């Protein structure tokens, strides 16, 4: 029998059975609270290179993460990948054993209380995607790529589920569908990028992505050198997504803030970016790919990080919220979490700048950047990062893209860049780099963006 569907759900009932195995397990004396985080991931990914499918995979995983707290505040965590309730119960007993061996944690804030989480859109046809559905999408984009070029990328469909159940009465469950497509088309002297994605595979236009990438590789042919230095840049949404992800990582975590390691220390309420710039963490947005609940059972929410360029807040889990004397914003990672809370879905608010082409039209001389590559942190507290441009970097002269240029290395304070924003597009597009699942971002035009090196290809 050939499987017809890749990604059917286990469902609330299936999750409840597994969770109750841990919550009802005999853990011995002295146990005060138990939490079970269940995550199921089922998905297929069809990868192509040299214009043919070369890797094609499917995987189903179900992980149970059990946190047990003793009467005197000792905490232990154990996890297992299984769909067997007895194994989950045994994992709870192991977590209890670990807790007994650990010293009390006076900072432990307790488990999340019962609270209703909202819903996110789930697309049934994405849950039901088959290998042939993915192959058909790949064939559609390959049909747009003529023989002079080679195409490489990946088409993914995914059915995920999360459940957080605890002895405080919280019993949250949520499914999630998602799909994404990445594509690089390579020619003799250039490469071109396109990507697409969302909560439904119907958010993706494979043939359209193929055409966009081919347009890029054609326009990028025979790149020339430009000097490193300060440039006005128009960053397309994939490049803006990288900025958002690294900024969230460096500046907006509640733990770094409390430990004095964040840019945000002493700056809440300050104007740090141009007034056109607003940034929110919004996991439930139709433009993001998050869940309605975080990994310790708190409902996720919309958190204003920057509003009109003013630094508004950082994100919290229950631990940092207790220390800060506030409430969790629903940004916890799975326990035990040594990184602190994270803003996983930071989205720049669209502006009134029109399209990316409109942002280019308003630029006298600058660079159009399709995306960044291998970005990394240089100085967290300054929000300084470095990385390369990739798959389409172009010179703008008198409001027009005039020629392709070779890739450049940037070294730049990201908050510093946001202070120099000249325009924010009203159009938005999918950006996957730096995110578990991508977000839709606008394009930005930024003055004085710092490039510190060049390379020898486009």
Partner 1 sequence: MRDLAQLALDEAVAAGAGYADARAVLEEGESLSVQDDRVEGVERSATRGVGVRVLVDGSWGFAGTARLDREQIMAAARRAVAIAKASATAQRRAVRLAPVQVATGSYTTPYGTDPFDVGIDDKLELLLAAAAAARGEPKLTLAKASFDAWRTSKWFVSSEGADLQQTLLQLAGGVECIAVGENEVQVRSYPNSFRGYCATGGWEDVVALDLVGQAQQHAEEAVALLDAPNLPPQTGTLVLDANQVALQVHESVGHPLELDRILGYEAAYAGTSWVGIGDVGSLRYGSDHVNLTVDTTTDKGLGTYGWDDEGVPAGRHPLVANGILRDFLTSRETAPYVDDQTRSNGTMRADSWGTIPLIRMTNINLEPGSGSFEQLLDEAGDGIYMSTNKSWSIDDKRLNFQFGCEVAYDIRGGKLGKLYRNPTYTGRTPVFWGSCDGIAGPQHWQVYGTPNCGKGEPGQVARVSHGAAPARFRDVQMGVR
**Positions 128 through 147 that interact with partner 1 (CB under 8 A):** 130-132, 134-135, 138-139, 142
Shortest distance, CB of residue 340 to partner 1, whole angstroms?
10
Choice from 52, 271, 326, 402 touching partner 1 (CB under 8 A): 52
Environment class of 198 (CB within 10 Å of its CB; exposed 0-12, middle 13-18, buried 19+): buried
Binding region for partner 1 (CB under 8 A) out of 2-10, 113-121, 199-207, 421-429: 2-10
Instruction: Output the six-digit token pair for 140.
Output: 């559609």
Identify which of residues 129 and 424 has a Cβ nearer to partner 1 in the complex. 129
Whole-angstrom distance, CA of residue 2 vs CA of residue 11: 23
Could you give the count of Cα atoms lying within 13 Å of 15 in the half-sphere of its Cβ? 25
List the interface residues with partner 1, window 223-262 (CB under 8 A): 259-261
User: Which x/- pattern, by CB under 8 A, does the window 270-289 give for partner 1?
Assistant: --------------------
Choice from 77, 243, 368, 421 touching partner 1 (CB under 8 A): 77
Choice from 25, 98, 217, 446 touching partner 1 (CB under 8 A): 98
List the interface residues with partner 1, window 367-426 (CB under 8 A): 373-382, 384, 386-388, 390-391, 407, 409, 411
Number of residues that bind partner 1 (CB under 8 A): 94
List the interface residues with partner 1, window 297-356 (CB under 8 A): 335-338
Quick check: 93 binds partner 1 (CB under 8 A)? no
Alpha-carbon distances, residue 350 vs 32, 269, 326, 440 (angstroms): 47, 21, 29, 10
List the interface residues with partner 1, window 163-182 (CB under 8 A): 182
What is the C-alpha R_g of the chain? 23
Shortest distance, CB of residue 219 to partner 1, whole angstroms?
18
Choice from 14, 16, 32, 47 touching partner 1 (CB under 8 A): 47
Quick check: 21 binds partner 1 (CB under 8 A)? no
Shortest distance, CB of residue 119 to partner 1, whole angstroms?
26
Quick check: 80 binds partner 1 (CB under 8 A)? yes
Quick check: 45 binds partner 1 (CB under 8 A)? yes
Shortest distance, CB of residue 62 to partner 1, whole angstroms?
6
Identify which of residues 335 and 446 has a Cβ nearer to partner 1 in the complex. 335
Binding region for partner 1 (CB under 8 A) out of 117-125, 274-282, 284-292, 449-457: 449-457
Whole-angstrom distance, CA of residue 104 vs CA of residue 366: 57
Choice from 56, 189, 323, 355 touching partner 1 (CB under 8 A): 56
Identify which of residues 74 and 276 has a Cβ nearer to partner 1 in the complex. 74
Shortest distance, CB of residue 87 to partner 1, whole angstroms?
9
Quick check: 125 binds partner 1 (CB under 8 A)? no
Identify which of residues 97 and 168 has a Cβ nearer to partner 1 in the complex. 97
- The Cα angle at residue 285 between residues 320 and 349, in degrees rounded to 5: 90
Choice from 11, 16, 32, 49 touching partner 1 (CB under 8 A): 49
Whole-angstrom distance, CA of residue 317 vs CA of residue 300: 10
Shortest distance, CB of residue 390 to partner 1, whole angstroms?
5
Shortest distance, CB of residue 332 to partner 1, whole angstroms?
13
Among 188, 181, 186, residue whose Cα is nearest residue 214 = 186
Quick check: 267 binds partner 1 (CB under 8 A)? no
């Amino acid at each position: 029998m050939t499987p017809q569907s890749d990604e059917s759900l286990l469902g609330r009932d299936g999750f409840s059975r597994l969770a109750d195995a841990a919550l009802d397990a005999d853990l011995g004396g002295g146990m005060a609270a138990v939490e079970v985080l269940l995550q199921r991931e089922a998905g297929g990914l069809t990868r192509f290179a040299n214009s043919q499918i070369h890797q094609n995979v499917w995987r189903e995983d179900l992980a149970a993460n059990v946190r047990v707290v003793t009467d005197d505040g000792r905490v232990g965590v154990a996890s297992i990948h299984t769909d067997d309730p007895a194994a989950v119960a045994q994992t709870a007993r192991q977590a209890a054993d670990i807790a007994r061996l650990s010293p009390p944690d006076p900072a432990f804030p307790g488990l999340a209380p019962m609270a209703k989480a909202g819903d996110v859109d789930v697309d049934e046809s994405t849950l039901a995607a088959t290998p042939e559905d993915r192959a058909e999408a790949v064939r559609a984009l390959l049909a747009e790529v003529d023989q002079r070029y080679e195409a490489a990328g990946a088409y993914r469909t995914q059915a995920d589920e999360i459940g957080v159940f605890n002895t405080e009465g919280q019993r949250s469950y949520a499914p999630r569908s998602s799909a994404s497509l990445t594509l690089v088309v390579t020619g003799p002297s250039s490469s071109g990028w396109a990507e697409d994605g969302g909560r439904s595979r119907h958010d993706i236009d494979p043939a359209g992505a193929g055409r966009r990438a081919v347009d890029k590789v054609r326009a990028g042919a025979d790149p020339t050198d430009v000097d490193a230095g300060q440039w006005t840049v128009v960053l397309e949404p994939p490049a803006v997504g990288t900025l958002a992800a690294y900024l969230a990582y460096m500046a907006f975590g509640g733990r770094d803030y409390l430990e004095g390691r964040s840019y945000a220390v002493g700056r809440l309420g300050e104007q740090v970016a141009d007034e056109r710039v607003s940034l929110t963490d919004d996991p439930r947005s139709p433009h993001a790919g998050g869940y309605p609940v975080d990994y310790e059972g708190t409902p996720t929410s919309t958190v204003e990080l920057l509003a009109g360029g003013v630094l508004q807040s950082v994100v919290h889990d229950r631990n940092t919220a207790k220390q800060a004397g506030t409430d969790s914003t629903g940004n916890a990672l799975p326990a035990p979490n040594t990184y602190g809370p994270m803003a996983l879905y930071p989205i720049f608010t669209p502006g009134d700048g029109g399209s990316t082409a409109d942002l280019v039209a308003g630029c006298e001389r600058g660079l159009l950047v399709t995306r960044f590559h291998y970005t990394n942190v240089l100085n967290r507290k300054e929000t300084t990062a470095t990385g390369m441009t990739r798959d389409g970097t172009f010179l703008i002269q008198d409001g027009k893209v005039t020629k392709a240029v070779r890739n450049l290395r940037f070294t730049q304070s990201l908050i510093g860049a946001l202070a120099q924003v000249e325009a924010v597009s009203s159009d938005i597009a999918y950006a996957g780099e730096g995110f578990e699942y991508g977000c839709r971002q606008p394009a930005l035009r930024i003055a004085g963006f710092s490039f510190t090196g060049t390379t020898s290809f486009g």
